[in-house]
Structure 1
């Protein structure tokens, strides 16, 4: 394995998934990046050319189910050696392994760019300390959409003026975690502007548990919808006397995330700590 000075070596975990395959297509269409590893858990396809599996033609990168082994090989073949040329991992896998994948990547000196959601606040704090100790640029990005960043900024501005707000996120029914990492991140951004929301004006009783969504300590309500046919949608609704203010972002196709993914991959090697959220990179 070798990489020219002009291209960034990239490994993709979750290579056969919806997002992982889009990342590989985006990498393949640019001269700025070089695919050097493809990881997925479908062992029956192990050893096959990922390009052929995705209909891109041969790429001479072969699918592996050995995450740590592939990361280790990339670490050896693209050692940072002070010249900012280390490999970058793009991970779209599963919440159950996202923390382990991130920590393993940092341990081997491979810059993790994690799009998998479900990492807890305690895990995030641990990974932040680990990345800082390793002085390794790392990123956990709940959503790679520039439009979502703009929605979050607008929601933060609105939170200064509205005491009542609820968030709804809708995704395809193969998404494992709820609420989404993006929705949680949006709530956190809103809460930076105001400590408490949705003061109770009446004693509520749910005839079906969960009807009013999940409550954060701040009082913000989060609702999740899972249906086939959806990609991703998020709505933030603020209410006040005589009016509502609604912000909505729709993802129609996963290609919308690719400019954000490639931007983070390009910038991550110049950092020496972990960043959380696309807004920290833009």
Structure 2
């Protein structure tokens, strides 16, 4: 039985994670971390399920008292970074689903995970289909190196471009030479019209109510185009990936950045 703590149980993603853990036979929801309701039980909080599970506001105290195996954090970059470091220092394997980690952050946390010999996973996207979309895009870029990325998310998302878009661009860059796309003399008559630039590629971010998480990678070649698209219709779509990450973290002793590294 894998004992799990979830940070942010009242958030949209956190609620889905609570459901996933409680419905998984080999998982046990040991506690939750919330910015309110310290010392209470989940069943005593209106926004939480009727479960006899303790609520903590301090992650360190939670880890010391509960001694879980895994932390699931689907909150925000600032909180996720703090919780991940606290988890590793307390012998807990973190599964983090927020973006915004810098290369320096990942390097520091990787060193800590190796020092503690603990598995840890940071995933910009937990949707299995999105991971396949990134892998397929990397395959396509070997033969069609001209590409642009359009990512679409709900209008409450704070970062742009999305972590998935950046990760996709990084994977494509690994297999193609950097090249400046578009006409060499092109000029933006409105700043930002061509999107953000990454190694000569362009990334476009759309933010609208009604969207969840969507990404399309467009490839252009001589007389042809190729589109690789993934759509998450709801947040439950991320839960199989979260479950997979929890299982993988228990078998690892290093930090893995990106779910694509644990999908064959």
Question: What TM bracket, shorter-length normalisation?
Answer: over 0.9
**Equivalent in the alignment of 1:163:** 145
**Equivalent in the alignment of 2:14:** 20
Q: CA deviation at 1:55?
A: 5.8
Return closer, same or farther for 1:71/1:207 CA change in 2, 3 Å cut-off.
farther
Q: CA deviation at 1:121?
A: 1.5
Distance, in Å, in 2 between the alignment partners of 1:53 and 1:212 is: 46
The answer for unaligned runs of 5 or more in structure 1 is 1-6, 79-86
Q: Report if the CA contact (8 A) 1:49-1:62 is conserved.
A: yes
Q: Report if the CA contact (8 A) 1:95-1:177 is conserved.
A: no
What is the number of residues matched between the two proteins?
A: 262
For residues 138-175 of structure 1, what are the alpha-carbon distances to aligned partners after superposition, in whole Å with 9 as ceiling and x for unaligned? 11111111111211121011101123111111111111
Distance, in Å, in 2 between the alignment partners of 1:206 and 1:72 is: 55
**Equivalent in the alignment of 2:244:** 263
From 39, 63, 68, the equivalent of 2:60 is 68
Q: Report if the CA contact (8 A) 1:94-1:176 is conserved.
A: no
Return closer, same or farther for 1:226/1:47 CA change in 2, 3 Å cut-off.
farther
Distance, in Å, in 2 between the alignment partners of 1:123 and 1:129 is: 10
**Equivalent in the alignment of 1:82:** none
**Equivalent in the alignment of 1:56:** 49
Q: Give the structure-2-normalised TM-score.
A: 0.93
Residues 1:30 and 2:30 are matched in the alignment: no
- 1:34 counterpart SS class: strand
Q: CA deviation at 1:54?
A: 4.7
Return closer, same or farther for 1:148/1:272 CA change in 2, 3 Å cut-off.
same
CA RMSD in angstroms comes to: 1.7
Q: CA deviation at 1:18?
A: 0.7
Distance, in Å, in 1 between the alignment partners of 2:179 and 2:64 is: 47
